[in-house]
Amino acid sequence: MRVSLMAVLLLATTVAWAHGPTRQKVTETVNIKAAPEAVWAKIKDYGAMQDWHPAIDKTVADKGNAVGSTRTLTLKGGGNVVEELESYSDAERKFSYRMKDPGPVPVTNYSSTISVKPGEGGGSVVEWRGAFYRKFMNNDPPPEQNDEAAVKAITGIYQLGLGNLKSLLEKK
C-alpha cells in the first residue's frame, strides 16, 4: 500500500512530457489486397476508429478531420484514451496525432502516424508507427510500467488493428 502510494506521488510530480527515460518506437505494416483508395476510405475518418479497430467501442471527435480535433476513444476493455490530431493529408493518405490522455495504455507522450501507400499488384501497404515513452517517468520502473511493457502494448494495438483492417477489406 505504501509502495503504490509512493508510486502515485512520484508520477504526480512529473508532468506527462518527460525525456529522462528513453523514447521507444514501434512500426507495423500490413499488405492488403485492396486499392489504396478503398483502404484509406476505411480509416480516413479520425472520428470513427471503431469502424476498423476491434478494441474500440466508440469514438467521439470534436472537429472531425480538422487539425486540432480531439477524439475520445472508449475502449471495449474499459477506459478512455484522448488524442489530438496534429496533421492530416487526404492527398498523401496519412494523418498524425498525439495522445493527451493515455488512459489504461502504459505509455507517456505518445505520437503516431498512420498512412496508406500503393502496394504490389494494385494493393496497399498500411504503415502505423508510434513514438512514445514508458508510463513510469522516473528511474527504476516497475515491470508493468517499463519500456518493454510500453512496446508490447503498442505493438499489440497495432497488430490487432491492422490484422482486422486486412480481414475487413479482403473479405468477399
Partner 1 sequence: MTRYRLALTAGFAIAWIGAAAAAPFAYITNQASHDVSVIDLAQQRVVATIPVGRSPAGVVVSEQAGKAFVSNPDSKTVSVIDLASRRVIDTIDGGSGPVGIDAAPDGKRLYVADWYANALLVIDAATHRRIASVPVGIAPAGVAVAPDNALIYVANRDDDAIGIVDAGSLRQVATVAAGSHPFAVGLTPDGSKLFALNVLSNDVSVIDTRTRQRLATIGVGNSPYGVAFSADGRRAWVTNQHAETVSVIDVATLRVVHTVAGGAYPEGIAVAGQRVVVVSWMDDCVHLLDADSGKRLATIDTGRNPRGFGHFISAQ
Q: Is 117 in the site for partner 1 (CB under 8 A)?
A: no
Question: Residues for the chain: how many in total?
Answer: 172
Query: Nearest distance from residue 112's CB to partner 1, in Å?
Result: 11
For residue 84, CA distances in Å to 35, 96, 100, 141 come to 28, 9, 7, 27
Residues 123-142 that bind partner 1 (CB under 8 A): 129, 131, 138-139
d(CA 94, CA 9): 38
The whole-angstrom separation of Cα 125 and Cα 32 is 6
Output b/e per residue, 99-131; b: 16+ Cβ within 10 A: beebeebbbbbbbbbbbbeebeeebbbbbbbbb
Question: What binding mask, one character per residue, do residues 56-95 give for partner 1 by CB under 8 A, x or -?
Answer: ------------------------------xx--------
- Rule CB under 8 A: which of 24-53 touch partner 1? 25, 27
Q: List, in order, residues 6 or more apart from 2 with CB less than 8 Å away.
A: none
Question: Per rule CB under 8 A, is residue 12 in the interface with partner 1?
Answer: no
Closest approach of Cβ 53 to partner 1, in Å? 22
Smallest separation (angstroms) from partner 1 to the CB of 92: 12
Q: For residues 125 and 131, which CB has a smaller minimum distance to partner 1 in the complex?
A: 131
Question: In the set 1, 15, 91, 172, which binds partner 1 (CB under 8 A)?
Answer: 15
In whole angstroms, the minimum distance from the beta carbon of 78 to partner 1 comes to 30
Q: Which residues would be at the binding site for partner 1 (CB under 8 A)?
A: 15, 17-23, 25, 27, 86-87, 96, 98, 111, 129, 131, 138-139
